């Protein structure tokens, strides 16, 4: 039925074909996942656990870590810079998400079209993502130079200017990646839906809002989780463009952590910030997954 399809997938339950018990085929034993899980546990989880242990010690990189109990955590919770850092981080995440999602979505849907020029243009649009963060930040650093850059005026020296510069540069670099994700998602939307809607007399705009957007729900979830969590760990741009400045106005949490670890060599405190960051980010992504229904692994194309 075209109307049901337009509303973006029926809700007949996870993986349940009409009128039957769940297919037993293609359900790999959990052991298939084991090599990946072990590898990741060894190289990522174990070091993170060690870092967590370090957060209860005082260590400057030399000699042995000295256990200090909760000292680092107490310092973290009473640090004035933490509140400012948290606020900036949240603000940056939200604004970046809005900017990047809107642009990536529009570009992804546009790129999914079959016109030849779109293929060439998409290739050009992707170039920013190929460059390293360091290179991009150095480039924009020069472009924003008040005396010789493209934008005269004290961009990086003002709080708002610095903030917007970070949002923009981050977007410039990562929008291509998310465009790719949305493009993939848009390409997978079956024609059927659009054709049926066209028969029903729906215009372009209506098609976009009633078909494209809902069908992109899972794609949006993937992309958003990546964006949100990614911007929490993403700080090279801040490091090069603003060094957390002016003053400390753009010192996001990851920057605070880097400063503590690699500038002050206070690895205990840096590990405390890192552990805090991981907990917050994981909680956030779990929440997003739950809210968007991503975790139920349902297809947007059920009932077809």
Partner 1 sequence: MESTTSNGGRTFSRRWVLGAGATTVLTAGLSACGSSGGTGSGGGGTITAFVYGDDAVKVQVKAVSRFNASAAAKKAKGKVKIEKVPGAEYPAKLRTAMGSPNAPDVFFNWGGGSIKAYKDADQLVDLTDTITSDPVLKDGFLPAVLAAGGLSGHNYGIPMRGMQPVILFYNKTLFAEHKLTPPTTWAQLLDINAKLKKAKITPFALGGADIWPELMWLEYLVDRIGGPKVFDRIKNGDASGWGDPAVLKAAETVKQLIDDGAFGKGYSSVAYTNGGAPAVFAKGKAAMHLMGSWEYSTQLGKFPDFAKKDLGWCAFPSFDGGAGDIRNVVGNPTNYWSINARTSNKDAALAFLRDCASEQYAKDLIANGDIPATANAEKLLDASPNPEFAKFQYEMVQQAPAFTLSWDQAVDPNVSTPMLTEINKLFVGKSSPSQFVSALKGLK
Partner 2 sequence: MSHDTLPRPVKTAEAPAGQPARRRTHWTRRANPLAGISSAIWLVIVIVPVYAMISASLTKQDEALGSNALKPPSDPTLDNYNTVLHNGFDHFLWNTIVVAAAVVAIVLVLCVPLAYVAVRTRNIWSTSAFRMFLMGVAIPAQAVVVPLYLMIAKLNLYDSLLAIILPTAAFAMPVSVLVLTGTLRDISEEMYEAMALDGASTTRMLFQLVIPMTKGGISTVVIYAALQAWNGFLFPLIFTQSDGPRVLTLGLFNYVSQFGVNIPALLASVVLSGIPIFAVYLVARRALVGGLMGVGGK
Q: Interaction with partner 1 in 49-108: which residues (CB under 8 A)? A: 49-50, 60-64
Do residues 186 and 217 touch, judged by C-beta distance below 8 A?
no
> DSSP states of 113-149 as a string?
S--HHHHHHHHHHHHHHHS-HHHHHHHHHHHT-TTTS
Single out the residue of 184, 190, 214, 245 in contact with partner 1 (rule: CB under 8 A).
245
What mask of x and - would describe binding to partner 1 in positions 166 to 185, judged by CB under 8 A? --------------------
End-to-end CA distance of the chain: 9
156 contact partners, CB below 8 Å, separation of at least 6: 141, 144, 162, 165, 241, 242, 245, 246
Asked if 198 is part of the footprint of partner 2 (rule: CB under 8 A), the reply reads yes
Taking the complex as a whole, the smallest distance from the CB of residue 77 to partner 2 amounts, in Å, to 18
Distance CA 179, CA 107 (A): 6
Smallest distance from partner 1 to CB 69, Å: 18
120 binds partner 2 (CB under 8 A): no
Q: Which is nearer to partner 2, 121 or 164 (CB)?
A: 121
Write the interaction track for partner 1 spanning residues 2-41; mark x where CB under 8 A is met and - where it is not: ----------------------xx-xxxxx--x--xx--x
Task: Rule CB under 8 A: say whether 129 interacts with partner 2.
Answer: yes
Are β-strands 57-58 and 66-67 bridged in parallel, bridged antiparallel, or unpaired? antiparallel
Q: Where does residue 285 rank: exposed (0-12), middle (13-18), buried (19+ CB within 10 A)? A: middle
Other beta carbons within 10 Å of 177: 18
**247 belongs to the binding site for partner 1 (CB under 8 A):** yes
Which of these segments, 101-109, 179-187, 194-202, 256-264, binds partner 1 (CB under 8 A)? 256-264
Find the binding residues for partner 2 in span 49-88 (CB under 8 A).
50-51, 54, 61
Closest to partner 2 by CB, 64 vs 80, is 64
Residue 249, SS3 per DSSP = coil
Where do contacts with partner 1 occur on this chain (CB under 8 A)?
Answer: 24-25, 27-31, 34, 37-38, 41-42, 45-46, 49-50, 60-64, 138, 141-142, 144-148, 153-157, 243-249, 259, 262-266
């Amino acid at each position: 039925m075209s109307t049901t399809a337009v509303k973006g997938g029926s809700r007949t339950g996870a993986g349940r074909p009409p009128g039957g018990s769940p297919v037993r085929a293609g359900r790999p034993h959990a052991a298939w996942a084991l090599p990946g899980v072990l590898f990741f546990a060894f190289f990522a989880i174990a070091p993170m656990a060690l870092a967590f242990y370090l957060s209860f010690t005082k260590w400057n990189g030399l000699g042995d870590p000295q256990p200090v109990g909760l000292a680092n955590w107490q310092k973290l919770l009473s640090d004035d810079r933490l509140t400012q850092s948290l606020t900036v981080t949240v603000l940056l995440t939200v604004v970046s998400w809005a900017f990047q999602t809107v642009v990536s979505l529009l570009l992804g849907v546009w790129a999914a079209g079959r016109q030849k020029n779109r293929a060439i243009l998409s290739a050009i649009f992707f170039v920013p993502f190929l460059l390293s963060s360091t290179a991009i930040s150095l480039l924009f650093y020069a472009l924003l130079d008040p005396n010789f850059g493209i934008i005269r005026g004290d961009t990086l020296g003002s709080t708002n200017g610095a903030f917007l510069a970070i949002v923009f540069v981050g977007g410039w670099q990562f929008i291509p990646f998310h465009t790719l994700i949305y493009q993939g998602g848009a390409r997978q939307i079956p024609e059927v839906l659009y054709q049926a809607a066209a028969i029903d007399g729906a215009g372009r705009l209506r098609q976009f809002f009633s078909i494209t957007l809902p069908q992109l729900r899972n794609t949006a979830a993937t992309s958003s989780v990546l964006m949100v969590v990614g911007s929490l760990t993403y700080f090279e741009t801040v490091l090069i463009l603003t060094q957390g400045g002016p003053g400390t106005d753009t010192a996001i949490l990851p920057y605070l952590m880097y400063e503590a670890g690699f500038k002050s060599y206070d690895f205990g405190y840096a590990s405390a910030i890192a552990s805090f960051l991981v907990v917050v980010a994981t909680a956030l992504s779990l929440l997003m997954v739950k809210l968007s229904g991503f975790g139920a692994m349902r297809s947007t194309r059920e009932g077809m």
